[in-house]
């Protein structure tokens, strides 16, 4: 997917990018590839692949959550890595107020330079573990309209990392490659325990490559119990509802 195809494909979903926004994506690509030579940000460096599997893929939540397009929402991106999905969403929808957390400082440093270069406002960057950032003593706990995560962990683990950050009435959006139905089934106990409810699970395919994708959206229907999230590393080792929990 070259940049022009990227723009055309988004227009099919009523997302119109200006010349300035297209230039921001071009700069993003250049910085990503240049930095990737000495900091491990992505295994995908081919321009057409980046535009499809990073940029386009990151904007797909707006196909299923219309409020991203127009509302001044607070969005927390958990484990954003090189900024996916939150930075492409922010470029496409400047109305969003983005907070990014990542556990690797090198990635945060890259994002700091990127945000400055792209001239993005209302973007906060935090070098932190999600378990601490959403902990019971954190000022960020249950403060966000949305939490997003892309290819970070299975649903039972993601729910514990993301739902404590979402305010009641807000949403968690998980961008999954496939097998989401099994993950949702396995994660039902965790989702309910943490105050969430499955709102939708949509299967679709990326254009060009036809790669399968799932967009899983949870609604936060009640406050997360204070004992969650558990200490760093525990959600992954002992997911809520698992036999070894």
159 touches 199 (CB < 8 A)? no
DSSP letters spanning 36-86 = HTTS---S--SHHHHIIIIIIHHHTHHHH-THHHHS--EEEEET-TTTTTH
The closest of 116, 121, 114 to 31, measured between CA atoms, is 114
User: Tokens standing for 232?
Assistant: 């760093």
Known binding residues for S-adenosyl-L-methionine? 79, 84, 130-131, 150
Known binding residues? 79, 84, 130-131, 150
d(CA 15, CA 105): 33
d(CA 15, CA 176): 22
> What separation in angstroms does the CA of 106 have from each of 33, 59, 111, 112, 236?
15, 24, 9, 10, 23
């Amino acid at each position: 997917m070259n940049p022009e195809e990227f723009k055309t494909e988004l227009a099919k979903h009523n997302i119109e990018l200006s010349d300035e926004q297209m230039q921001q994506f071009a700069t993003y690509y250049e910085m990503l590839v240049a930095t990737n030579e000495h900091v491990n940000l992505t295994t995908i460096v081919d321009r057409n692949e980046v535009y499809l599997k990073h940029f386009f893929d990151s904007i797909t939540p707006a196909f299923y959550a219309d409020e991203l397009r127009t509302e001044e929402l607070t969005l927390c991106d958990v484990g954003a890595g090189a900024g996916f999905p939150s930075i492409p969403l922010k470029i496409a929808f400047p109305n969003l107020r983005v907070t990014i957390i990542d556990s690797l400082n090198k990635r945060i440093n890259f994002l700091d330079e990127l945000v400055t270069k792209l001239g993005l406002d209302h973007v906060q960057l935090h070098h932190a573990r999600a378990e601490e950032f959403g902990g019971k003593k954190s000022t960020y706990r249950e403060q966000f309209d949305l939490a997003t995560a892309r290819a970070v962990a299975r649903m039972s683990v993601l729910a514990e990392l993301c739902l404590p950050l979402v305010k009641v009435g807000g949403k968690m959006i998980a961008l999954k490659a496939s097998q989401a139905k099994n993950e949702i089934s396995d994660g039902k106990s965790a989702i309910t325990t943490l105050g969430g409810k499955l709102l939708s699970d949509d299967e679709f395919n990326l254009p060009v490559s036809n790669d399968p994708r799932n967009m899983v959206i949870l609604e936060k229907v009640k406050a997360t119990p204070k004992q969650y999230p558990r200490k760093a590393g525990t959600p992954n080792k002992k997911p809520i509802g698992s036999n070894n929990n």
